[in-house]
Amino acid sequence: MEDIRIATVTFHSVVGEGRRNLDAMDRWITASKNEGAAIVCFPELNVTGYSHLEEIKQTAEPVPGPTTRRLSDLSKSNGVVILAGMVEKDDTNRTYASHLVIKPDGFVGVYRKLHIAPPEQRIFAPGSAIPLFEAGGVKFGIQLCYDSHFPELATHMALQGADMIFIPHASPRGTPREKFSSWMRHLVARAFDNGLFVVACNQTGDNEKGLSFPGISVIIGPSGNVIKKDLGNTESLTVIDLKTKDLSRVRNHKMRYFLPNRRPELYDID
């Protein structure tokens, strides 16, 4: 891993208002560029808005499609890698909660949510691949909200070489302080157990379809310590420099880096 400056956006999305949401993203992408960020991460389904009502399927697009073309133009013009969420449909009309990785050179990658929460299961199909991506000298994975409750996924990403996991959320209800307390039950463990950075951000505000989201962003270091947070409950940009030395300090320590001492032959997990 190389030193890198990243940004997260606590973002207000309105369901079904893709053009409005993309226009709002434009401003935050420009702000990220002005802050010198190499990567900017938006919350889960921020382009289409988040809903588990049947009508959300009407926002689904193929990849590539109009949304990816607009984001590719924004990535190229600003020189920033964009991580953004949308409802994707494949050529059989199955819909996925997907997160895009858009690079200035034209690369478009897709992560499809693997673990679908019970209220979402009649809307979204689960993905079937665990891709990793590289940008700015960093290898990273993506998990979406409910995905983060499954420890094996983070460990798999770490074993494949991830330095960082971005975890965009669309997690409604409660206050930012209550959401922070909830995230601290498991996100710190994903970072600490696997010796990597975890970067999480949530939507904020009323989605105009019956859900309200507490605005929060959290960055956790490979020692499991929170190194930056924003609980402001409004749209905001969080920028942070992530350092190679902090990753190396853990991974070069015999008692703080656990992965080399795993014994998977004992676990017998299907």
Return phi, psi of residue 37, to 5°.
-75, 140
Total residue length of the chain: 270
40-59: b or e for each residue (b if 16 or more CB lie within 10 Å)? bbbbbbbbbbbbbeeebbeb
pLDDT in tens, 175-230: 999 999 999 999 999 999 999 999 999 999 999 899 999 999 999 999 999 999 99
Q: What is the pLDDT of residue 267?
A: 87
Whether 75 contacts 81, CB under 8 Å: yes
- Percent of the chain whose pLDDT exceeds 90: 97
Q: What angle do CA 87, 13, 101 make, to 5 degrees?
A: 50
Q: What is the pLDDT of residue 268?
A: 74
Does residue 269 carry a pLDDT above 70? no
Residue type, 79: G
Does residue 64 carry a pLDDT above 90? yes
Does residue 250 carry a pLDDT above 80? yes
CATH superfamily of 4-259: Carbon-nitrogen hydrolase (3.60.110.10)
Which residue is it, tokens 């770490």? Answer: 158
User: Where do the structural domains in the chain lie, given as residue ranges?
Assistant: 4-259
Q: Taking residues 142-158, report their average pLDDT.
A: 98
Q: Taking residues 250-261, report their average pLDDT.
A: 95
Does residue 101 carry a pLDDT above 90? yes
Does residue 270 carry a pLDDT above 70? no
Following DSSP, what letter does each residue of 217-231 receive, concatenated?
EEEE-TTS-EEEEE-
Return phi, psi of residue 251, to 5°.
-75, -15
